[in-house]
Amino acid sequence: MYNTPRGLRGLQNLGNTCFLNSCVQCLAHAPPFSDYFLSEPAYPRRRKKTILAPAMEAVVKAIHDANPSVASARRVAAHNPRGLLRAMDDVPPLDLFTDRDQHDSQEFLRMLLENLNDELNVVEKPPPYREEKDDFTEPENVKADRLWAQYVARCDSVMTRTFAGQLRSSVECHKCGTCSTSYDPFWDLSLPLRASKKGSVGGGGGGAGPIGVIDCLRAFTEDETLEGSDTRTCPKCKVKGSATKRLRVKRWPRVLVIHLKRFTWGKSGRPGKKMDAAVDVPYDLSLGDFLADDALEGGRGLHPPKYKLFAVTNHMGSLGGGHYTASCEVGGGKWFTFNDENCSGEDGPPRVSKHAYVLFYALQ
Ligand SMILES: [Zn+2]
């Protein structure tokens, strides 16, 4: 994080664009992301035109260039992010977001990062995609590293280096006990807003108190029994039967994005409802309990990764009509709330919140 407060400037609302403003403020206060755009980046020369990255650069610079004192931040004229909105019109499927309708800030974040990654990927000729065939002889660490190297060989940008981690998914066959694993890159973790079915550890989630983000992480990584229509054919013994599925973090990103699944969807994709549960958002977060057994091997460090919260996207209101704001650490331990054109100082990071929706954590 920055040593002194900076980036104290609001963004004008161009008609239901608070989903964009809140997301952009969180990114503009993520130094690995913002420093890239503040440092006069030379964009990779590509056949495709670079549209979105310069538009993002202009917004990040406008947010940081104003540079008022904490006390005078309120009086700084908000920046008009029209250029970024226009750029999104030129980059499908981001043009989905320019219809002046309400949109999901997390969905927007994911597409924005993916599209920026497309433009900023320094790999000119990605090697062809190879289909995985597991012979169960390759050590897990070797397999994870090989698949990560394959991913980075196709996709290498400031976005992947900042946000991408690797998730291990294992499925253990109940018949022969063989564990088949897959390793997939992730750019955020989408957590269910509930405690694990075995009950929460360390309070919360029991109904009365707030649900802890740790509880949500436990629910996300708890063993899931695959049976009935979820069964699959075991690649080893070729029997279709029950199995246990488990998710673990294998490689952790510099910036960990946690999405709390507040919005549920009904059958056939119909809008469901919003969960207003209060969430205990820890300032310090360790991924220790959620790592793959061998995640600390192979020169990746002896200690479980520790993260500090630096930004939160908040959602107030219902599924049909709501509003987004951002709470960000702006430097020197100071926190600000960015509410479209307005920004104002806060006492500190959000602790227990009914509105916290997307959490941004920086690796220490
Ligand atoms: Zn089997």
Contact 219, 195 (CB under 8 A): yes
Rounded Cα gap, residues 184 and 200, in angstroms: 27
With respect to residue 357, please indicate whether it lies within any of the assigned structural domains: yes
Q: Residue 202 has what pLDDT?
A: 47
Distance 147 CA to ligand 1 centre (A): 23
- Residue 16 CA, distance from chain mean position: 22
Lowest mean pLDDT among 1-5, 119-123, 197-201, 335-339: 197-201
Taken in order 110, 112, 114, 117, the sign of the CA dihedral is negative
Rounded Cα gap, residues 248 and 172, in angstroms: 14
How large is the average pLDDT for residues 172-195? 95
Distance 175 CA to ligand 1 centre (A): 5
User: What is the tens place of the pLDDT at every residue in 223-261?
Assistant: 999 999 999 899 999 999 999 999 999 999 999 999 999
Contact 258, 356 (CB under 8 A): no
Range of the domain at 359: 18-363
Rounded Cα gap, residues 132 and 128, in angstroms: 13
With respect to residue 129, please indicate whether it lies within any of the assigned structural domains: yes
CATH of the domain at 217: 3.90.70.10
With respect to residue 4, please indicate whether it lies within any of the assigned structural domains: no
Nearest to 313 by CA among 77, 115, 161, 104: 104
Give the active site residues.
Answer: 18, 323
Please give the tally of structural domains in the chain.
1
With respect to residue 182, please indicate whether it lies within any of the assigned structural domains: yes
Rounded Cα gap, residues 248 and 295, in angstroms: 9
Distance 245 CA to ligand 1 centre (A): 13
Q: Residue 299 has what pLDDT?
A: 61
Distance 235 CA to ligand 1 centre (A): 7
User: What is the tens place of the pLDDT at every residue in 298-334?
Assistant: 666 678 899 999 999 999 998 778 999 999 999 999 9
Distance 166 CA to ligand 1 centre (A): 25
User: What is the tens place of the pLDDT at every residue in 54-95?
Assistant: 999 999 999 999 888 888 888 899 999 999 999 988 887 877
Q: Helix (H, G, I), strand (E, B), or coil: what is residue 175?
A: coil
Indicate the pLDDT class of residue 196, thresholds 50, 70 and 90.
confident
Distance 298 CA to ligand 1 centre (A): 29
Distance 252 CA to ligand 1 centre (A): 30
Distance 292 CA to ligand 1 centre (A): 21
Indicate the pLDDT class of residue 100, thresholds 50, 70 and 90.
confident
Q: Quick check: 12 pLDDT over 70?
A: yes
With respect to residue 8, please indicate whether it lies within any of the assigned structural domains: no
Distance 179 CA to ligand 1 centre (A): 8
Pair of tokens at residue 79: 């920046």
Nearest to 359 by CA among 225, 144, 214: 214
With respect to residue 3, please indicate whether it lies within any of the assigned structural domains: no
